Amino acid sequence: MINTNLKFWRRELALTQAQMAEKLNIKRSLVGAYEEGRAEPKLSTLVNMARLFGITLDSLVTTDFSKKSAQKAALRQLEPASAPDPSPPRPANGLRILALTVDKEQNENIELVPLKASAGYLNGYADPEFIEELPKFRLPMLSTGGTYRAFEIAGDSMLPIASGTVIVGRYVDDWMTIKDGTPCIVVSNKEGIVFKRIFNRLKDGATLSLHSDNPVYSPYEIDVEDVVEIWEARSYISSTFPIADLSLSRLASIVLDLQQQMNTLKKA
């Protein structure tokens, strides 16, 4: 019973075995062993499972949720059609279920959202079939913890990061933890997909202040209710190298540094 329930809830939450292991603070190999019935979880692990799934410990051990899910699906087919819920599905712990893809070894892919797919992403971000159609790749240098997605950006608001750069972001579960000045991909219904630095105003006014690195663009605020996803920028891929800062102030700083080095050498 526990093995089928673990497999059921992991799929309901769209988690890989590695993600499930991280959330339960156990080894990934144990998740596979539990699902295959080759090992039994400790009581402490069972308690953590029940909390993660938002169910009681008793139901985790005694109820076959895969059968209950099949029964509910059969009943829904008999019910009259209703308007689809525009909000994405959320698991029992209040976090949205994230659509993702994995390779043959159950390692998460990094899905790429190119510019031409940006508009479609606003409607398909919670649709596993849409996510499955996106280009996929892997970056071994990224940490194994977390879920990553890549977005192609447009415009010059974040110079020296040029238009056409691909930003690789890590999915942010808890927006309250975002520190001021963190560069993020923000997906919202009104603004679409934008790359900005976030200044957290959730405690004061339920808003996020979005800032550009290019001083030509003024900061603006966005209501948290309008935000769909936030991905913290962890890496970027670009075919354009950043332009060196050769302003007068920068040149003056370089000359001053050289003069100080010459004076140091003369005194030696």
The model's confidence at residue 68, banded by pLDDT at 50, 70 and 90, is low
Q: What is the CATH number of the domain that holds 134?
A: 2.10.109.10
Residue 155, CA distances (Å) to 12, 162, 165, 222, 241 in order? 37, 7, 10, 19, 16
CA 2/CA 161 separation, integer angstroms: 49
Tell me how many domains the chain contains: 2
Choose the final residue of a domain: 55, 78, 101. 78
Residue 152 lies in a domain: yes
Q: Which two tokens stand for residue 255?
A: 């000359």
CA 56/CA 144 separation, integer angstroms: 30
Q: Which two tokens stand for residue 48?
A: 């953590």
Residue 242 lies in a domain: no
Residues 117 and 230 in one domain: yes
The model's confidence at residue 217, banded by pLDDT at 50, 70 and 90, is very high
pLDDT in tens, 78-122: 455 444 444 444 443 334 557 788 888 778 899 999 999 998 998
Residues 62 and 132 in one domain: no
Is residue 96 within 8 A of residue 175, CB to CB? The reply is no
Task: Report whether pLDDT(195) > 90.
Answer: yes
Q: What is the CATH number of the domain that holds 59?
A: 1.10.260.40
Residues 56 and 141 in one domain: no
Residue 131 lies in a domain: yes
Residue 182 lies in a domain: yes
The model's confidence at residue 55, banded by pLDDT at 50, 70 and 90, is confident
Residues 72 and 114 in one domain: no
Dihedral angle at the C-alpha atoms of 99, 103, 105, 109, nearest 10 degrees? -60
Per-residue model confidence (pLDDT) at position 258: 76
Residues 133 and 224 in one domain: yes
Domain around 195: 110-237
Query: Residue 197 pairs with which residues in a beta bridge?
Result: 183, 211
Residues 43 and 162 in one domain: no
Residues 130 and 18 in one domain: no
What value does the mean pLDDT take over residues 12-27? 87
Q: Which two tokens stand for residue 195?
A: 């790359």
Residue 230 lies in a domain: yes
CA 108/CA 99 separation, integer angstroms: 11
The model's confidence at residue 48, banded by pLDDT at 50, 70 and 90, is confident
Residue 101 lies in a domain: no
What value does the mean pLDDT take over residues 42-52? 86
pLDDT in tens, 126-158: 888 899 999 999 888 887 778 899 999 999 999
Residue 151 lies in a domain: yes
Q: Which two tokens stand for residue 92?
A: 């029992």
Residues 56 and 172 in one domain: no
Q: Hunting for tokens 């007068």 — which residue is that?
A: 248
Residue 130 lies in a domain: yes
Residues 231 and 189 in one domain: yes
Task: For residue 178, give the nearest of 210, 145, 220, 226 by alpha carbon.
Answer: 210
Residues 142 and 46 in one domain: no
Residues 144 and 216 in one domain: yes
Residues 129 and 221 in one domain: yes
Is residue 170 within 8 A of residue 147, CB to CB? The reply is yes
